[in-house]
Amino acid sequence: METVLSGIRPTGNLHLGNYFGAVKSFVKMQDEFNCFFFIADWHSLTTHPHPENIRRSTRTILAEYLACGIDPEKAAIYVQSDVKQVLELYLYFNMNAYLGELERVTSFKEKVRKQPDNINAGLLTYPTLMAADILIHRADKVPVGKDQEQNMEMARLFARRFNRIYEVDYFKEPESFHFNHIAVKVPGLDGSGKMGKSEGNAIYLVDDEATIRKKVMHAVTDSGPTEPNQQKPEPIQNLFTLMALVSEPDTYNFFNDKYNACEIRYGDMKKQLAADINSFCAPIREKILAIQDDEDYLARVARLGAEKASASAEKTLREVRQIIGFRV
């Protein structure tokens, strides 16, 4: 069975973009692949978060993953810092990673621009830690967005380089992967671009009914179509895209027909959209609320995940140490 690996940084709650863009497919993948889903708390240290934020966000993501249907019996759900073997592989990869190539990575250059006062070595070696995360389980497939493509290239490069230096055929090159071959982009409510935490345009899975309604009613619209069947401008298309994700096809078609006939009332559409988002989120929200304070359960899940991930990681490391020339 092929191995799939995906990580998420603990930086807050999951939103509809995370759900439809990633987590929904994880729930399907866990039945078809050997899955490792981890919470990337080491990666999050590049921005120097407060300890309490790391603790809270890690618990939050764990609870939200479980509420979405990721099953700790099927997949290994673990916290990155519980699997120390990753650090050793990170060190080995760093020995064969060169300053020039690390400095040329676009996401590093972006961070240099965005946080000039905190250009730490962790930022520079982000691609080697990511390669270690992936290759420690010798993962075949990594579900990633376009923004991670260059880091995936680096992971493949480090795998090839290791094989070349030690004259082995040990690491496979991990493949970037879109489940169902479709990359879903969930739009935000502010008229343009995708839904994201930092964009301030997100609906979170844990948002209550009143919050969802308020956010949707505030979504950007225009003064309405003036000609039948005219193309929808981005803010309007975004509402329809969200509706396609959460509403019944009949509901979508009803408002689409109204739009095409220039009879649409955005207020009605938004009320319906808010109600359908709420119906979609309500069962997940209830589960999040039930799980998030159950520290014993969350600790048990994290322990189980750490055991599974450590076993897989230890096997790789034993072999790697031997290849490198260390005593085992």
- By annotation, the residues acting in catalysis are 111, 194, 197
In the bound state, the residue with its beta carbon closest to ligand AMP is 21
**CA nearest to 76, candidates 84, 89, 86, 65:** 65
Nearer to ligand AMP, 191 or 294 (CB): 191
Q: For the chain, how big is the Rg over CA atoms in Å? A: 22
Our CB check for ligand AMP shows the closer of 144 and 264 to be 144
24 sits near ligand AMP (criterion: CB under 6 A): no
Q: Rule CB under 6 A: choose which of 131, 195, 203, 206 binds ligand AMP.
A: 195
Q: Which of 269, 172, 186, 265 is closest to 225 using CA atoms?
A: 265
Rounded to a whole number of angstroms, the minimum distance from the CB of residue 267 to ligand AMP is: 25
Shortest Å distance, C-beta 128 to ligand AMP: 20
Residue among 195 and 273 whose Cβ is closer to ligand AMP: 195
The residue within the footprint of ligand AMP, chosen from 24, 185, 303, 321 (CB under 6 A), is 185
Assign 3-class secondary structure to the chain: CCEEEEEECCCCCCEHHHHHHHHHHHHHHHHHCEEEEEECHHHHHHHCCCHHHHHHHHHHHHHHHHHHCCCCCCCEEEEHHHCCHHHHHHHHHHHCCCHHHHHCCHHHHHHHHHCCCCCCHHHHCHHHHHHHHHHCCCCCEEECCHHHHHHHHHHHHHHHHHHHHCCCCCCCCCEEECHHHCCCCCECCCCCCECCCCCCCCCECCCCHHHHHHHHHCCCCCCCCCCCCCCCCHHHHHHHHHHHHHCCHHHHHHHHHHHHCCCCCHHHHHHHHHHHHHHHHHHHHHHHHHHHCCHHHHHHHHHHHHHHHHHHHHHHHHHHHHHHCCCC
- Check residue 141 for interaction with ligand AMP (CB under 6 A): no
Binding piece for ligand AMP, criterion CB under 6 A, among 61-69, 89-97, 193-201, 256-264: 193-201
- Of these, 112, 184, 220, 304, which contacts ligand AMP (CB under 6 A)? 184
194 binds ligand AMP (CB under 6 A): yes
Give the footprint of ligand AMP on residues 266-325 (CB under 6 A): none
- Report the nearest approach of ligand AMP to the CB of residue 88 (Å): 26
Round to whole Å and give the CA distance between 168 and 163. Answer: 5
Total binding residues toward ligand AMP, as defined by CB under 6 A:
14
Nearer to ligand AMP, 184 or 304 (CB): 184
Taking CB under 6 A as the criterion, the residue among 18, 30, 46, 81 binding ligand AMP is 18
Binding to ligand AMP by residue 25, rule CB under 6 A?
A: no
Q: How far is the CB of 114 from ligand AMP (least distance, A)?
A: 15
Binding residue (CB under 6 A) for ligand AMP from 5, 8, 29, 239? 8
Binder of ligand AMP out of 49, 69, 196, 233 (CB under 6 A): 196
Binding of ligand AMP by 186 (CB under 6 A): yes
175: β partners: 141
Nearer to ligand AMP among residue 97 and residue 245 (C-beta): 245
Which spans of this chain sit near ligand AMP (rule: CB under 6 A)? 8-9, 17-18, 21-22, 145, 184-186, 194-197
